[in-house]
Chains A and B, each alone.
Chain A
Amino acid sequence: MRKPQFSSLRALKLPVLAFLLAMFAGALLIAFSDTASLKKIGHPWQFIKSASAAAGHAYFALFQGAIYDHGLATPHNPWLAFYPLSETLVAAAPLILAGLSVALAFRAGLFNIGAQGQFIFGSIAASYIGFHFHLPIGVHVVLAVLAAIVAGAIWGGLVGLLKARTGAHEVIVTIMLNYVALYFLMWILSTTTFLRPGRKDPIAPDVADSARLPHLAGQNFRLNLGIFIALAAAVFVWWLLSRSTWGFRFRAVGANTAAAKTAGISVPFVMTAAMVISGALAGLGGAVHVLGSDYSLTSGSAGNFGFDAVTVALLGRAQPMGTVIASILFGALRAGGGTMQANTTTPIDIVLVIQALVVLFIAAPSVVRFVFRLKNVKTGGELVAKGWNG
């Protein structure tokens, strides 16, 4: 009934401008933290030249680390120049899934800060099935993925159940459950079941080859099936939200709980169901990360995926396609940030600043409107506020 989200270009205006503005602010930061340029601050023209060169170099290095680096190509394998792009997609895949988890919950009126915890449980389940069992190829990986989905679904569903039954606010519950998940992970990594033989530090054994997601572009690239799983999930979420009766109920409850209830929709059921599916997506993200690229579970396995997920969902306006684009962008920033730090004097933290500024500009759209002299841009602010009002 609503037009496919793929065509809603107008809705992309704010996120795109917010991103550009954040990149510009990032460039200013790079310029003003560049010691060589700062020495020339007495000569404005020289300073501008030097500063823009510094920012240009940094962003070029970011591009090299994220998309294409000619220097990596070898005579008999020119394709290696695309190694950074593969890294970007490897970083993006789990983020897409976690982002979809947050986006789906958003649309049902729930602010799922708990993607991190659900991601962690997915990782634990995938890792355990992956290293503990010896199963035929194909069966093993499917089983490990399914286990992660179930683990995430349970951890997410718990939130939905608590909200539906007791009215507990999902933001508080998910924040707390994130801690529970993190400390559970640390504890389980200290048990003999999970401890890698011969090691005392918290690292689980590598998952068996039969449980790994197949590589897509040969052994030189880490690119694996995970990205296709993520894209398939995005299509599924799009279908779910705009073409299925379940999604209809999610959106109805998300947009007006009272009216949905009056029309006979069971709000507690919808909230629980939305959180089960949301958790399943985040859990799947954990599986894609562990089975696709990391192979071993550590206390830092989940990184920041669950929290960046909130950002990309916001940036993608809680639309599946938007979330995918935002996740790939963030994947690129993450992959490129390392190269930028290595090749220039610009620290990787600048990437975090850019990410944070994007969120800030989306949440405060009047800043973007002011800078670009816009009128009537669809804002994302109501999305943020809505989540909290839950």
Chain B
Amino acid sequence: MSLELRGITKSFGALVANDNIDLKVETGEIHAILGENGAGKSTLMNIVYGLVSPDKGEILVDGEVKSITEPSDALNAGIGMVHQHFMLVPVFTVAENIVLGHEKSGRIGQLHLEEAKAEIRRVSDEFKFDVDPDAIIENLPVGVQQRVEIIRALIYDARVLILDEPTAVLTPQETDDLLNIMRQLKAKGTSIIFITHKLREVKAVADRITIIRRGKVVGTAQPSSSQDELASLMVGRPVDLNPDKAAHSIGDVILSVKDVTIKDLTGRALVKDVSFDVRGGEVLAIAGVQGNGQSELARSMVNLEDHIEGSIKLENDEIVGESVRQSLHHGIAFIPESRELDGLIASMSIAENLVLDLHDLAPYAHGVQMSPAVVASEAEKKSVEFDIRLQSVQDPVSSLSGGNKQKVVLARELSRPVRLVVASQPTRGLDVGSIEFVHERILAERDAGRAVLLFSTELDEVLALADRIAVMYRGEILKIVPATVSAQELGLLMAGVVNA
């Protein structure tokens, strides 16, 4: 089945999310749509799926104009979608989720699931999905949950499948599995629209690539194009994806973590007996799939976790047992995993967010009296130094884009005297330009002789920045390897395979 979009235009107020977009997806083709966050990819797909109605333009299925105003129209036209955030009921079984909204029931309302289960088994076997229809969703790994979404689309006869950022939540191994599934689906004649900003995956699987920037189609490319070429098209200027790492000059041990165990409220160990050192002028990356204890380990560096056993030493200062404030003032810059939740206070101004940590110290305050003028003028200076694009430092920080928000966090954390930088997923959800900036700043700290502890789930980021890589798996450090490790070996380590 082929799908064609003609002149799709959609604006939200003054923002033109989609500007006259033309796109054609042929039968049995994997068509990648590449673009930065906010380029308009999701809006376009929501239009195709009937979640958003376009201001202008038409959608053709097999050359026929279709009116798609709600998801059921899309389903009837043979268009299925797997959303970035799964639409599954966690406490229901696979089969219950799949029949949801289309249940067949008996005379007194009892559910008839047998038919659906047989259907699920058939699809699962056909594509080697290995999905048990009776499994409870919340007990399944994320990759399997995603397959449930795909099965649902296939069972409802989708011949064009939209995958919205499908690899964002997957491990490298699960990603490879998904790419294989996509190839199989394609072989059976299903067309796939693959939305992503990850260049490597696009190159691995796509037949054609359409690049969207600021709501417009800016070009199409072949999978044989280089990553730098694709990134440059995506961003609109030349991009160098491999930041220059200056020659190494490693100093003394600055951070020394010894036998650290972190427990949750129920006493379960989330981090088990972790030990490592980080030297000045060195980036130690903690790689791992989300949820293997990295978040807790990162937070423990500034005592944000409650039950920390063991020792975390910053040169001669013991951190464990101190308050968050004391830890920060020992010389730790802490870039939290979620800038929205932990890094910034959305409703407070940019200027105020820049002094969250130092607001009660000179020159921002004298005694209890704060000096708003000083806070504002320092904010002006920092916005220049960190290239924060803003209208006024008095605007709420929520008015900034993701990249600029992260720059506010960086500007605040790197403005204290720093010995150690702890950066947790520092580029998550950022556009290419901001990623470059963040990477440069992190490397600048390293080159200035500070110790850097980087937590990242992105293989590319880990490989680009790290001097050494520690892989975390189920709360333990599996192995510490030099940065020259291959992406493949690193991927296997992240999946828990030590001797590959």
Contacts and interface: CB of A to CB of B under 8 A. Distances in A.
B394 A2 contact: yes
Interface stretch (B84-92, B247-255, B347-355): B347-355
A371 interface: no
A264 B336 contact: no
Contact of B345 (A245, A260, A264, A266): A260
B357 A255 contact: no
Contacts of B328: 263-264
Contacts of A7: none
B105 interface: no
Interface string A234-260: 000000000111101101100110111
Given A2-B394, A255-B348, A259-B356, A264 B370 contact: no
A2 B341 contact: no
B348 A266 contact: no
Contacts of B54: none
B376 A255 contact: no
A1 B329 CA distance: 24
Contacts of A3: 394
A261 B302 CA distance: 11
Contacts of B394: 1-3
B325 A265 contact: yes
B334 A266 contact: no
A262 interface: yes
Given A248-B370, A262-B324, A264-B324, A255 B345 contact: yes
Contacts of A246: 368
A243 B371 CA distance: 7
A264 B323 contact: yes
A260 B349 contact: no
Given A1-B376, A264-B324, A248 B342 contact: no
Contact of B352 (A1, A258, A266): A1
A255 B347 contact: yes
Interface size class of chain A, counting residues whose CB lies under 8 Å from the partner chain: 20 to 34
Interface of A is mostly: helix
A32 to B, nearest CB: 42
B270 interface: no
A259 B324 CA distance: 12
Contact of A264 (B325, B344, B372): B325
Contacts of A248: 352, 359-360, 370
Contacts of B351: 1
Contacts of A265: 325, 356
B370 A243 contact: yes
A172 to B, nearest CB: 21
B342 A259 contact: yes
Given A251-B348, A252-B348, A258-B342, A266 B369 contact: no
A2 B349 contact: yes
B356 A252 contact: yes
A264 B357 contact: yes
B342 A262 contact: yes
A298 B424 CA distance: 59
B349 A1 contact: yes
Nearest to A2: B349
B372 A1 contact: yes
A380 to B, nearest CB: 14
Interface in B345-398: 345-349, 351-352, 356-357, 359-360, 365, 368-370, 372, 375-376, 394
In the A-B complex, list the 10 residue pairs whose CB atoms are closest, starting with the nearest: A264-B325, A263-B356, A245-B360, A256-B345, A1-B372, A262-B342, A264-B324, A263-B357, A244-B368, A255-B345
Interface of A: 1-3, 243-246, 248-249, 251-252, 255-256, 258-266
